[in-house]
Amino acid sequence: MRVKNKDVPYIYREFVEDAVSEYLNLPFRSKIIDRLILDLLIAMELYGFGDEMLNPIFRSLSPLKKTHPLTLFLIGLISSGLIFVGAAALSIYSGTQDWISEGWSTGIAVSLIGLFIVIFLLLAISLPFEWVQDSKTRNETLDLLEEMNLTYMALNTSGPISVPHIHERVKVASDKGVVWPASLFVLLDDITERTNQL
């Protein structure tokens, strides 16, 4: 909900990843710090991707915010109609005013209407394919956000956390296409070698 309302915390990615590297180079470990960094790495990716998809700079950059194919079809149809039908009407008017011969004006008008019909058919044929692709991309993006959120929610407990469970959630999300920071896997491997819970 915070991301939808553009209430996204700024997390400096390079600083976080440097901090993880420094922590992993230390000779000691702390479950509290492990948990804090794990939370931060997952939140950083969730907020970053969520903000990119829900609050894009340009609507066309996000499958969730870009214009629906049906709307684009209607805009294309109306604009093409105005251009070609309008030009055909102008051509016929020019013929009636004897600016050009009647044969030329009729030929130009028929050609323009023919072009409009071809453009309409091309747009109509491509619409179902674009609609299916748009729906697929939207659903895939929503699935990625859901997987990231489920992973983050697995950390949302005041009790102990199963490290293998978190590792599995991260792996499932990764298999579906989530791109986690490399340092997340390094940290999880390091924690798994020491303990099974945080």
> In angstroms, how far is CA 176 from the centroid of its own chain?
14
162: β partners: 197
Tell me, yes or no, if the pTM score tops 0.85. Answer: no
List the chain domain ranges.
13-194
- Using only C-alpha atoms, what is the Rg of the chain? 28
In terms of phi and psi (left: phi > 0; alpha: psi -120 to 50; beta: otherwise), the region of 6 is left
For 30, the 3-state DSSP assignment is coil
Q: Tens place of pLDDT for every residue, the chain, 198 residues?
A: 566 667 677 888 889 999 999 999 999 889 899 999 999 999 999 999 998 998 888 888 889 999 999 999 999 999 999 999 999 998 888 888 888 888 888 899 899 999 999 999 999 999 999 999 999 999 999 999 999 999 999 988 888 888 999 999 999 999 999 999 999 999 999 998 888 877
Helices assigned H by DSSP within the chain:
13-24, 31-54, 69-96, 102-153, 163-175, 182-194
Q: Which two tokens stand for residue 101?
A: 């011969």
- Using one digit for the tens of pLDDT, what is the confidence trace for 145-184? 999 999 999 988 888 888 999 999 999 999 999 999 999 9
Measuring CA to CA, which residue among 182, 181, 185 is closest to residue 171? 185
